[in-house]
Structure 1
Amino acid sequence: MEAVMNNISVEKAKTSKIHEVDFENLSFGSIYTDHMLVCDYVDGEWKTPKIVPYQPITLDPSAKIFHYGQSIFEGMKAYKDDNEKIWLFRPLENHKRLNKSAKRLAIPQLPEAYFMEGLTALLQLEKDWVPTTPGSSLYIRPFIFASGTGFHASPANAYKFIIACAPSGTYFSGSVKVLIEETYSRAANGGVGYAKAGGNYAGQFYPTQLAAEKGYQQVIWTDDNTHEFIEEAGAMNVFVRIGDTLLTAPTNDRILDGITRKSILDIAKDEGIKTEVRKVSVHEIVEAAKNGSLKEMFGAGTAAVVSPIGAFGYKGEDYELPELKDSFASRLKKRITDIQYNRAEDKFGWRYPVS
C-alpha cells in the first residue's frame, strides 16, 4: 500500500513528566511519555498523522469500539545502545501484521509511510524517554479502533490510529508455572486468533484467573476441538525442547504469527539447533516429562522476549522441568537481545535505526 506522506504536525507538551520518573525502577507499561501520535480515518481516507501531548480520548457513547469490538494493536520496543543510538527490531513486520489484523476485522489498512514515518517522528521527539537501565526499553503500543458512531451492527465509518509509548523494565523475571488448559479455548478455526484483536485477550482473562486460583501464573492454550495439542502460552507463542530438538506449533487461524517466534526459529537454525514446526501433543509432553527427555518449555513474545516455564500442571498433576545451565531459552534470548541493543552483529538485517 503506497501513500505520500505530508509533514507531520507536532504540538509539544507545555511541561514534561520525565523528571518525575525513576528510570532505575520501571514497571512494565504503566508510565507514559509526553506525546502520542494520532491519525484519523474519515471520509474514506487516512488523514495526515499528528503528534500531540499525551492526553485522554473523547468518544461518543455510540462509538462502535464499545459495541462491536473493532480494535487491534501491536507491541514493539525501542532500544538505546551504549552510544545513545535508538533502534527498532523488525518494525516492518509489525506494520504488516497490523494490516493483517485490520483486514480480518474490516478496519481500513494503514499505509506503511504513515506507520513508519509517524513512529520515527514520535521516537525522535521522545528520544530521552528511551531508558538505558539494563533490560529496559521503550515499549511502543500502536493501535487502531472504531471511533465511528451507530448502534447498527456494521463496520464503522471512522477510526483512530494511535501510537503511545511507555518506558518499561523487565516484563517477567524468573520462570513461571503454567496450567495446560482442558476446557476453554483461546481461538477457533475460522476465527480471529491470528489477529492481534483486543477481544482475543479479553477472552483469556477468565480462564487465566481460574488457573491463578490454583497456583499457576499462566495458561497453555490447546486446540479448540480436542484440547490435545498445545498452541500458545498466555499471550505468547510457546516452544518445547524434547531432547535436543526445539518444537513449536505451526501458525494457523488460531495462532498468532509472532515476530519473536519467527526470530527464534531463524536464530536456532543459525545456532545449529534442530527445530520442528509441527503439532505438539499434550500426551507427547507429559510422556517426555515422565521419561526425562523434556528439557525446556518457554514462551516467546515482544514484551518478555523469552519467558522460561519452570513447571506445568495437567489433569491434577504437576511436572517440574530441570534447571539447565546452558539452556536454549537463555542462548536464544541473548542472541535476540544482543541484536536489539546493538551489542552484536545483525546478520539477518532485523535492526532498524531511528534516524
Structure 2
Amino acid sequence: MSDAALQQPSARDDARQEADEDRIVVENAYKIFGGNPDEAYRLLGEGKTKDQIFRETGATVAVQDASFTVKSGEVFVIMGLSGSGKSTMVRMLNRLIDPTFGTVSINGQNITAMNRKALIDLRRRDMSMVFQSFALMPHQTVLENAAFGLTVSGRDKADREARALEALEAVGLGQNARSYPSELSGGMKQRVGLARALANDPPVLLMDEAFSALDPLIRTEMQDELIRLQREHRRTIVFISHDLDEAMRIGDRIAIMQDGRFVQIDTPDKIVSEPANDYVRSFFRNVDVTQVFKAGDIADPGVQPGDGVTEISADASLDEVLSIVSNADGPAPVTGEDGKRLGAISKTALLKTFDKSR
C-alpha cells in the first residue's frame, strides 16, 4: 500500500502496536504423517527417535512438541536443515496442515478447534501467506493478481483494485499494474506475490522460503523491501528460511529446528554468542558479526558513556563503533531513531562480542 495508507491509524493498527501482545501461540504441537500417530506419539514419550519410530510404525514425525509465542509486530524466523520440519510448522499456523496433537492460537482464537467456515474467515481477514513459487496467473494483469485474495473474499471491483494498487505501490510496482507476469523479472514477480499478501492488510504474514528462488542481488533487494515495509507498518511475520545471513538480517528472534524440534529460540546476538548445542553452533560458526549486529543490538543501558565521546546511532555498524571506541576516553553512547538514549558500548564489551562469534 502507499506509504500514507500504511501509516493511517486504525483499530487493527492500534492492536499491532501492543508489542507485548502474543499474536501467535503454539502449545505442544505435533505433526505425525502416516502410520499410527497414536503409537508414534507413545514411542516419542519413551524416548524413541524419529528414525526408530519410522522403522517400527511407518509414521513420519515432522514436528514434535513445538511450543512458542510470536509477539505482535515481531519478525520470527524459523530455520533449519532440509527435513527439519520448518515448512510443516509454518503450514500448521494456518492449518494448511492440521496438527496431529497440540494447539495453535491466532489473536487468542484456537484455530485447531475452528470449523471450516471460521477458519476460512480467519485466513481471509487475519493472515496471508507468501510462498517460494510466485504462483501468478499468467492470463491476469499484475493488478488482478495482486487483487486475487480480495476477489475471492467477495470485495467489489473498485475496492479491491484500489487496495491492490496501494499494495503494488508499496512494493514499487504501481507503474506495472497493467502489465502481465510474462513481462516481469523474477524479483518483480515475487514483489507481486508480496503485494497480493499485503492487499488485505493482514496482521499476520507467513512467508515460506519466500525469497530463496531469487538470485542473490534481487534477494537482498527483497529483504530490504521487507525491512522497509516492516519499519513503516509493523506486522507479525513468521519467515521460513535456510539462509543464515537472511535470518540474521531480518529476524527479531530466530528459532532453530532439528529433527522436528525447536532446539533454540533467541535473538540473533544471543544465538551467535550463546548457542544451545553443537548443532546450533555449527550454523553460526565464523559468522561475521560486523555484518549481523548494529550498535543498538549490543548497547548496554547500565553503562554510562564517557565524557565527550561521539554519539552513535543504533543503526551504526560494529566497524563504525570500533573506530569510535578504540580511541575514545570511555564507552560510546548509543541513541535510537527517536533520539532516546539506549545505553553505551565499551571497548571491552565490543571486543567480547567479536570474540564470542569465533
Q: If the length of structure 2 is used for normalisation, what is the TM-score?
A: 0.23
Larger radius of gyration: 2
Q: Which has the higher helix share?
A: 2
Per the normalisation by structure 1, the TM-score is 0.24
Please identify which structure carries the higher strand content.
1
